Amino acid sequence: MRKVLIAIAAVAAIGVGAFLYLWSNLDSIVKTAIEDVGSRVTGVPVHVAAVKIALKEGNGTVTGLTVGNPAGFTSPTAFSLGEISVTIDPASITGNPIVIKDVRVAAPQVTYELGRGGSNIAVIQRNVEAFAGGGGAKAEPAPAKAGASAKGAPAKKLVIDQLLLTDGKVTLATPLPGGAATAALGEIRLAGLGRASGGATAAEIAGQVVQALSAASVKAASSIGVGKLLGNAVQGAGAQGGLDQIKSLLGK
């Protein structure tokens, strides 16, 4: 009996130790997960400066989240999401799916750059679509089988009741002659992500958010008049001079 009690005590101690480790390292675990999943979905490097999770209060913040550019583009980042605040349903933490009541992204910044394959935003969008179609992102190895963790257990799924991005801005990496360099990014509001399917994987959620952000970015860039300004550049500088300007803007 004494040996049994010792064994039970040892198992309990291991369990408590594991719990304390996860609790004390939760912020770094979430940070790593965001960077890993984000990079896989977008096919470009994703970095996070800091994560702060307060489970008891049911909230958290993510600061300094940046999405890099595909190869061939010169701007440091395509997206910079500033501070992200998250409100979690604490009762759902141990269940599946985890319910996130509210996500707010303040002042996201988008850098729109033209290149050989179109824009940087278009390339990232294609990466996201390829990932969603099962092709995997170009810059990262293929993830584990969807819906399963590395150990074969069912993957944690998410439901996001509301996601809101406000006060965003799109900036042209190379301002065009005679046009504005920036435009307001329209408000992006998504609701019920993963709700209908009983939860979605982090990769699926990330894909939906990037798709919405990409679509809004392209619309904002179009409002600056990218196509029209390219035409004006040709007319203003002459056919050959305008062509040289366009080639320079496109990196050709």
Q: Give the model's pLDDT for residue 154.
A: 64
Q: Give the model's pLDDT for residue 207.
A: 87
Give how many domains the chain has, as a whole number: 1
Q: Provide CB contacts within 8 A for 153, sequence distance 6+.
A: none
- Give the bridge partners for 5, in sequence order: none
Query: Is there a domain that residue 235 lies in?
Result: no
Can you list the positions of beta strands (E) in 113-221? 114-115, 118-119, 158-166, 168-172, 182-185, 188-193
Residue type, 144: A
Q: Give the model's pLDDT for residue 140.
A: 39
Query: Is there a domain that residue 117 lies in?
Result: yes
Contact yes or no for 180/224 (Cβ under 8 A): yes
Query: Is there a domain that residue 229 lies in?
Result: no
Q: Give the model's pLDDT for residue 94.
A: 81
For 58, the domain range is 2-221
Query: Is there a domain that residue 244 lies in?
Result: no
Q: Give the model's pLDDT for residue 245.
A: 45
Nearest 5 degrees, angle CA 237-CA 239-CA 243?
85
DSSP 74: -
Query: Is there a domain that residue 250 lies in?
Result: no
As a whole number of angstroms, the distance between CA 88 and CA 159 comes to: 10
Of 26, 88, 39, 29, the closest CA to residue 206 belongs to 39
Tokens of 46: 């994703």
Q: Helices 120-132 and 202-224: crossing angle, nearest 10°?
A: 150
Q: Give the model's pLDDT for residue 227.
A: 55
Query: Is there a domain that residue 148 lies in?
Result: yes
Query: Is there a domain that residue 30 lies in?
Result: yes
Contact yes or no for 207/131 (Cβ under 8 A): yes
Contact yes or no for 183/160 (Cβ under 8 A): no
Per-residue pLDDT of the chain (252 residues; tens, 9 = 90+): 665 666 666 666 665 555 555 556 788 988 998 999 999 999 999 999 999 988 888 899 999 999 999 999 999 999 999 899 999 998 888 889 999 999 999 999 999 998 876 889 999 989 998 987 765 444 433 344 444 444 555 678 999 999 999 999 999 887 666 556 899 998 999 999 999 999 999 889 988 998 899 889 888 888 876 655 555 544 444 444 444 444 444 444
Query: Is there a domain that residue 252 lies in?
Result: no
